[in-house]
Amino acid sequence: MDDDQTPIRPRSGRGSRALTRLKCFALRRAVGEKTRVDIDVNTGVAFGPKADEFMSYLGIVSRERLSIFINAWDEVSEVDQNMIWKDVLVCFTLLLLPYNAF
């Protein structure tokens, strides 16, 4: 066989990284358990012990429900925004607080 005709072999090893789904949310949703997340009234940014978990969940939901070609939230249809909002409210209780309250 010539060098030009050498078959291409797939990479050995683990391969690519799998999509994160945070299975703990599926379990919580099944039992109706909600996680409390504090949201800063002034900036709209999550803070507190569950903030990272909340932001990870938003990333998962947006990857599952939105096109990769959407550049900004303003481009998301109102129907999709409402679906995402309802999905978030199933898993989280959002408390609007000033950040300096703690």
Distance CA 96, CA 81 (A): 20
CA distances from 12 to 15, 48, 59, 60, 79 (A): 7, 41, 29, 28, 43
Distance CA 68, CA 62 (A): 9
Write out the chain's pLDDT in tens, 102 residues.
455 555 555 555 566 655 556 677 777 777 878 999 999 999 989 999 999 999 988 988 888 889 989 999 899 999 999 999 998 998 899 999 887 755
Length of the chain: 102
Q: What is the CA radius of gyration of the chain?
A: 20
